Structure formats: C-alpha cells, structure tokens
Structure 1
Amino acid sequence: MNFDYNTTRNQLILAEYGRNVQNMVKYICELPDLQERNRYAQAVIDLMGFLNPHLRDVADFKHKLWDHLHIISGYKIDVDCPYPKPTPEQAAVKPKHIGYPQQKIRFKHYGKTVETLIERAKNTEEPERRAAMVQGIANFMKMAYVTWNKDNVADETILKNLAELSGGELQLQENINLNKIEFKPMVSRPANNNNNRGRNNNSNTNNGKGRVNNNNRPQRSNNGKPRH
C-alpha cells in the first residue's frame, strides 16, 4: 500500500491558503482558453478572500490576493489581472531596516507622548487653552502612572514630574484635585451556589413538588396501623 505523505508532495508556496488552492491554481495554468482561465481565477480569488478574512483589514486587499495568486502559480499564470503583475525580482528585494528609536525618555512610565504634549503646551500662547492642556496632560500622567505602577499616586508627585519635564514652565495649583484613578486588580467571582442553597432549604419541607422528608412521615406499627 502506498501512502501519500506531505513530505513527498510539492512544497506549499503559501501555506495559509492550503494545498487545494494550490492545486486549483495549477489546474488554471493548464487551461488552454483565456476566458475560462479568467473565470476560474476570479473564483479562486473569492475563495482565497474567504479563507483569509483578515486580509479585508489590509488596504487594497484585492490587490494583495491577486499578487498571492501569481506567487502561488510561480508567476506562470496567464490571466487578465486588474492590477500590475508582480515579478520574482520584486519578491527578492528586501525592505530597508527601519532602525531603532534613539530618543531618550526621562520617565518611561509616562512615555514619549507626554513629552510631546508638554512641548505643544509650552508653545501655546492662549492662557485658557494652555491651562486646559496642562490639566489634561496632568490627568493623563496620573492615569499612565497608575497603569504601569499598579498603585495610587499622590497629586504632588504628578505636579512635581510635570514641572520637571516642562523645565518649570507648566505648573498647576497645588490644591487642585486631579481625576481620581485607582488600580483595581481583577477579582474572580465566587461560584454561584444559589441552586444548592435552594435545595438545602427545601429539603425539609413539602411544597407539593418535592419529596417529603422521612422524618415527617407517621410511624407505623408491625400490624400496619399508624402509631399516635
């Protein structure tokens, strides 16, 4: 008996679509009629989109599906593609290295965004708008502090850090109250024992639906008559 193992089959080019899609693409490549190839190719494109619904979140996902169709065929499929056909040379090009950020963050639990907001607030000349921005930044700093440190923080600490990050240019009144933010760890709920409680309460009573407790039944003598 001959067994068909994956190790003896052709290598999957794009494993996320499976071997059946690859066999369909191979069948399309062997069709002699162009119109028939186009019809079957459109059906395979719809199937590929159904098998990978996450591609719908990608910009121009139809273009990506057609590129995958050409890649699965080994760039040999001859169909009328609505997009420019990819080439093996384009697939061999490696993207440029993005690089690591070289910016230093003074308080990492606040993040770089807080420093950017502080610089914008410093450049704001309108007093009312500047005060509102400083108030929002301080509230965000408290939320970020509680999120990463998992502990409550005094408003004096936030005001002190705000003054340090802004070089003393942004300050709030010491008696101001920031939004109250507390870290609340997840607590597992206890098991629901209402059913067991109800059963225990009804075990010694007869409500017409349950059984009568044996202790409440009248005792009978040996001759079958009840005892009083």
Structure 2
Amino acid sequence: MEYNTTRNELILPEYGRHIQKLVQHIKTIEDREERTKAAHALIPIMAQVNTNLRENGDYKHKLWDHLFIMADFDLDVDAPFEMPDKEVLNRKPDPLPYSQGKFKKKHYGKIIQNMMDKIDDYSPEEQEVLVELLANQLKKSYVKWNKESVNDDVIISDFIELAEKDVNFKDNIKLVETRNILAKPKKKKTNRKNRN
C-alpha cells in the first residue's frame, strides 16, 4: 500500500496527485517532440480539473505556468508561453509601510483621534452633538476592546486626554449603556402564515 505520508508532497494540491504524476511522467519522455505533444495534451485536462481558472481571461497562460511549477521549472517543451522565473515566484513581497503615529490609547483607534482634531471646525451647537457622539463611540470601543463595563467618568477623562483641549460636555450627558453595547442583535420573527 502507498500512504500519503510516503508520497512526494503535492506542489499544487488543486490539481491532485494524478496530474502531478502525469507531469513527472512527461519529464521522463526523452523525445522533445513527444514531450511537447504530451504537455499540450495535459493542458486541457488541467483546465477541466481546475475550472476556477476559466473565469480569468488569461487562464491558458496560468495553466502553462502551473505546469512548469509542477515540473519544478525543469520541463523542456515548445510552449506558447515563456516559463516563469522561479526566483520571481518565490520572492517575498515588500513589507507595507504602516504609519505608526502617536497613539495615547490605541484601542480607540486613529479615526477617533482624527475626528477629535476636527471638533473646533464646527459651530458650538454642532460641537455639543459631535462631542456626545464621539464619547459614545469611545465607550463602545472601550467595551468591545476590553469586554468589560466602564464608568462614564473614565470615558470622559479619556476623551479630554485624547482631545488635548478644553471640551464642553453637557451637564446631563448620558452615554450608551454597556449592556446595550454587548447585547446581541435580536433575530426578526417571521410570520409563519405569510410563508405560504
């Protein structure tokens, strides 16, 4: 018996072991013309096995690339496309430059900090509404991040620290309840009479 643990590793698992064995067999054909015919005959079979590639306009090019990859870039045939460069395929992408910036309280996020910087751009009436909305968002972010209840005084203190300016809070400001933040949305009830 032949077990998967004793077999060679699948290079492209989406094609399966039989296609990979066919590719290995094609590599053993000595006559270049016969080898080329066999490779051209294998491409339509690969297209049937991996039907997702047909959604792309250049799927034949990808099939030939996959054939060369399964052959470990060691297949001398007359192909309609050039063999891909092994180094290019194995090269790791360049790291993305993340802007770290200054965060006093990372769990509130950069967008909240940017919004706080814009408070002065609004009229006093609009500032009052914006401050209340931002404070509620701070509380939601805090509760979602820490998974625990928090006192409104802590949120207001954090708000003042993040805003780095005097902020006028309404005397009767009431932030959203923690249980409302953590509550799971209720499923809509369907009326069984209307299903028919």
TM-score if structure 2 supplies the norm length? 0.61
Matched residues in 2 for 1:100 and 1:31: separation? 47
Matched, 1:167 2:172: no
Report the AA paired with residue 110 of structure 1. Answer: Y
Bigger relative CO (Cα 8 Å, ≥ 6 apart): 2
How far off its partner does 1:7 sit? 5.9
Matched residues in 2 for 1:20 and 1:115: separation? 56
SS at match of 2:89: helix
Structure with the higher helix share, 1 or 2 = 2
Matched, 1:14 2:19: no
* Residues 114 and 137, structure 1, Cα contact 8 Å, conserved in 2: yes
SS at match of 2:106: coil
- Judged with a 3 Å threshold, the aligned counterparts in structure 2 of structure 1 residues 111 and 63 are, in CA distance, closer, same or farther, namely farther
Match of residue 39 from structure 1: 44
Matched residues in 1 for 2:61 and 2:126: separation? 46
Unaligned runs of 5+ in 1: 51-55, 187-228
Matched residues in 2 for 1:78 and 1:134: separation? 69
Overall identity of the aligned pairs, in %? 31
> Please, which of 119, 132, 137 is the counterpart of residue 134 of structure 2?
137
Report the AA paired with residue 87 of structure 1. Answer: D
TM-score if structure 1 supplies the norm length? 0.54
Deviations 1:62-83 (A, max 9, x none): 69964545422334376556xx
Matched residues in 1 for 2:20 and 2:79: separation? 16
- Judged with a 3 Å threshold, the aligned counterparts in structure 2 of structure 1 residues 148 and 24 are, in CA distance, closer, same or farther, namely same
Match of residue 2 from structure 2: 4
Unaligned runs of 5+ in 2: 28-34, 185-196
Deviations 1:153-190 (A, max 9, x none): 2323222221211112444213121222326599xxxx
In our comparison, the structure showing a higher alpha carbon Rg is: 1
Match of residue 201 from structure 1: none
Equivalent runs, 1:213-228 vs 2, <5 Å: none
* Residues 138 and 158, structure 1, Cα contact 8 Å, conserved in 2: yes
* Residues 136 and 176, structure 2, Cα contact 8 Å, conserved in 1: yes
Matched residues in 1 for 2:83 and 2:135: separation? 53
Equivalent runs, 1:140-155 vs 2, <5 Å: 140-155=137-152
Report the AA paired with residue 175 of structure 1. Answer: N
How far off its partner does 1:127 sit? 5.0
* Residues 23 and 67, structure 2, Cα contact 8 Å, conserved in 1: yes
Matched residues in 2 for 1:64 and 1:175: separation? 67
